[in-house]
Amino acid sequence: MSGAQQVLQQVFGYESFRPGQEEIINSVLAGIDTFALLPTGGGKSLCYQVPALMLEGLTLVVTPLISLMLDQVDALRARGVRAYALHSGLDHRQQQVVLDNCAFGDVKLLYCAPERLASDEFRARLPHLHVRFLAVDEVHCVSEWGHDFRPSYLLIKKVREELDEVPMLALTATATPQVEQEVIDLLGMQQPAVFRTSFSRPNLVLVVRQAEDKEARLADILNKVAGSAIVYVSSRRKARDLAGWLQKHKQIAATFYHAGLKSAERAVRQQQWKTGHVRVMVATNAFGMGIDKHDVRLVVHVDVPSSLEAYYQEAGRAGRDGQRAYAVLLHHPRDGKSLQQRFDLAHPDVPYLRHVYQCLANYYKLAVGSGYFQSFDIDLSAFAKRYKLQAVKTYNALKRLEEEGLISLSEGLHLPSVLKINLQKQALYEFQVKHARYDEFIKGMLRLYGGRLFAEFVKIDEQRLAHFLKTEEKIVRDNLTRLHNIRVVTYIPQTDSPKITYLTPRVHADQLFLNTKRLNMLRQAAADRLQAVQDYLDTKNCRMQHILHYFGEKAETCGRCDRCLARKHKKADLTPRILALLAKGPVNANELLRQFAWAEEEQVLDTVRQLLEGRKIFREEDKLRLL
C-alpha cells in the first residue's frame, strides 16, 4: 500500500481513490507543478489534503469560498489534523494568532481567502510560515474571461515566487481550453503536468423542455422521477414562492434556500434535505458548493442559467453515486427577454459603479484615504433601501468593484463566538485572586474549554457555558464582555453577516480608476457565454456531446439525452396515437404529454405543431381538439 493510500484510509476513512486523484497526488509529491480539472463531485480537496499530510511544513490553500474552507477546517480538526482558515471574517487579533500558530506550531494546512494575499502584513509574515506546498482551488477565478474572475487571484504568481519555488497544484471543476491555458500562464506554472478527467457523466440524462407552464411541468417531472431533487431558480422570491406552491398545491415536500436567509436557517434547511425529511430543495445558485449528497436523482433549472459552466456544474450535482439521474432545463420563448434583463442588471455601467462606491463610503462614514483592509458587515437590502438602489443591480455593482480590485465581498456566513485568554497562566491566577467575583467563572471556562484558550481562539457556546456554570446566558455574555474590555480575554461574539473589505484606501468617487475597456470586454465575454447557452437549447445534436465539445473534449453521442432518444424513436409516427387520443375528447398539452414516455415528449410537441400547421387539429383556449 502506498503512503498516499495509507493516509487516505487511516485519516479520511476511504478505501480507494476516485479516478484521477492518485495520479494528481503523485505528481504533487514528485514536486511537479500540476493543473487538475476534476468535474463537480470528483473529490478535489483530497488532492491537496493528502499530500499536505505527507509533506513536511505547511500547505497554503487559496480558495474564495469562506464557508467551504470553514467546513473543511472543522472536518480536518475532527480527524486530528491541525488546520486554520484566514479570511475577512477574522479581526486583526485573530489573524495574528492564526499566523503565530502556523509559524511556531505543527500546523499542516492554512486556508487563505485570496484577498489576504494583498495584505502587506500577511506578505511580511509569509517567509516565516515554512510553506512547502501551494494549492489553488477554483483556479478558473484567475482568468479575466472566465465566469468568476477575482483580481486577487492574480497575486498568486508573485506570492509563489516568494515561496522559493514550492510545487503548485491548480484545481478547478470548470475550464474551457482557453481558460486553462490562461490560468497556466498567469500563475507562472513551469511545464505543469495536466490532468483532465473527462466531463462526461455516463449516468446523467440531459433533457431540455419547452414549457408554457413551467410550474406544472416541474410538478409533472417530479412525479415521474422519484428521489431527492434540486430545483434552481433565478431569484430569492421565486425560490420561496415555488417551494410554497409545491407544498400547498402538489403536496410535494419542499423547502427553499438562498443567501438572504440567516446562516442557522440555511443550515437547518440543508440538513432537512440531506437527511431526506424534505425531498425537494428549491434554491438560487447560492446552494451547492460543498454539498456532499450522492443520491440526488434530479436537478431542474426552471430559469435558464447565464453560462454553460454554471449550468453543468449545478446539473452535475445529480447522480454522484453513479446511478441514473436527470438534469432538466425548462425554457420558454419569452425567457429571452428575462435573460436580457438579468444580463443588464449583471453589468451596471460605470456611473452606477461610481455611485455605489460613494454610497458605501457614506454608509461606513469613511474619509478619503481611510478604510484600507478594514472589514465591515453589510446588510445589502438595508444598504440598497437607504440609498434607493436596486438590490440585484447593486450586488452586481459590488461584484464589479471586487473584480476591479477595490473591495472584497464575502458571502454571508455564520461565524461562532470565539474566545482567547490574553494573560499568561500566572498572571491570570493573580487576577483571579485579586478579583474574586470572576474566579468561579474563569475556572468554569477553563474546565469546559481547557488550556487551548491560552494558545488560540476557541469556538465557544455561551448557552452551553451558562448551563455548565448553572447561570443565565446573559450573565455569561456580560462577564465575557467585561473581561474583554479590561483585556483579560479577547471575546468576539458570533456574527452572521456578509462582509465588505476595502482592498485599497477610499478615494473620491469621481477619481476612481475603473478599467472601462476591460469592463466592456467582460460584458462581451458574458454575452458570448449566454449565446453558448442558447446554442445548447437550440442544438439538434446530442446534448452531452455539445457540452463536452464546449469544454474541449471530443465525444461520441451519449445515447441517453433527449435528442439521442428522440432520434431512436423518430421512425415511429406518433400522429395516429395523438389523433386517437383527441378523438376521445379535447385535452390540454400537459395531459397529452402524460400519455407518452419521457423520451417521446419532444417528438410529441413536434408532431402537435405539424398537426396544427396542417389544420388537422386546432387549439381552443388551453385545449387541443380535432377539426
Q: What is the mean pLDDT of residues 14-18?
A: 90
Q: What is the DSSP letter of 418?
A: E
pLDDT at 409 > cutoff 70: yes
- Residue owning grid cell 421512425: 571
- Find the range with the poorest average confidence among 256-260, 435-439, 459-463, 603-607: 603-607
At residue 537, the pLDDT reads 94
- Residue owning grid cell 491560552: 454
3-state SS class at 441: helix
The CA distance from 170 to 184, in Å, is 9
At residue 312, the pLDDT reads 92
3-state SS class at 327: strand
pLDDT at 413 > cutoff 70: no
At residue 483, the pLDDT reads 96
Q: What is the mean pLDDT of residues 454-476?
A: 92
102 vs 627: which has the higher pLDDT: 102
182-185, long-range: CB within 8 Å, 24+ apart, which pairs? 182/142, 182/143, 182/144, 182/145, 183/35, 183/139, 183/140, 183/142, 183/143, 184/35
Give the pLDDT band of residue 603 (cuts 50, 70, 90): confident
How many Cα atoms occupy the beta-carbon half-sphere of 120 within 13 Å? 3
At residue 538, the pLDDT reads 92
The CA distance from 212 to 200, in Å, is 31
Give the pLDDT band of residue 414 (cuts 50, 70, 90): low
Which helix (H) or strand (E) segment holds residue 594: the answer is none
Phi and psi angles of residue 514, each rounded to the nearest 5 degrees, phi first: -125, 130
- Find the range with the poorest average confidence among 121-135, 514-528, 560-574, 602-616: 560-574
At residue 290, the pLDDT reads 59
- Reference 324, options 201, 202, 203; nearest CA is 203
* Cβ atoms of 391 and 421 closer than 8 Å: no
Q: What is the mean pLDDT of residues 57-80?
A: 89
Angle between helices 3-12 and 21-29 (to 10 degrees): 120
**Which triple of cell numbers denotes residue 161?**
515566487
pLDDT digits 0-9 by tens, 154-186:
889 888 888 877 999 999 987 788 888 889 999
Q: What is the mean pLDDT of residues 50-57?
A: 94
Helices (H), 539-574: 543-550, 562-569
pLDDT at 562 > cutoff 70: yes
* Cβ atoms of 58 and 134 closer than 8 Å: no
- The DSSP bridge partners found for residue 83 are 109
Angle between helices 439-449 and 462-469 (to 10 degrees): 120
- Reference 50, options 24, 86, 85, 77; nearest CA is 24
* Cβ atoms of 420 and 453 closer than 8 Å: yes
The CA distance from 618 to 621, in Å, is 10
Instruction: Report the helix count and the strand count for the chain, using DSSP H and E.
Output: 26, 22
Percentage of the chain surpassing pLDDT 90?
51
The CA distance from 135 to 169, in Å, is 5
At residue 445, the pLDDT reads 94
Could you tell me the strand order of the sheet in which 168-172 lies? 83-86, 109-112, 58-62, 131-136, 168-172, 34-37, 193-196
Residue 516, burial from CB neighbour count under 10 angstroms (0-12, 13-18, 19+)? exposed
At residue 596, the pLDDT reads 78
Q: Where are the beta strands (DSSP E) in 258-406?
A: 280-283, 296-301, 325-331, 375-377
- Please count the residues of the chain: 627
606 vs 182: which has the higher pLDDT: 182
The CA distance from 116 to 119, in Å, is 5
Phi and psi angles of residue 28, each rounded to the nearest 5 degrees, phi first: -65, -45
Q: What is the mean pLDDT of residues 446-456?
A: 91
262 vs 466: which has the higher pLDDT: 466
Give the pLDDT band of residue 411 (cuts 50, 70, 90): low
263 vs 377: which has the higher pLDDT: 377
pTM exceeds 0.75:
no
pLDDT digits 0-9 by tens, 144-156:
666 577 777 888 9
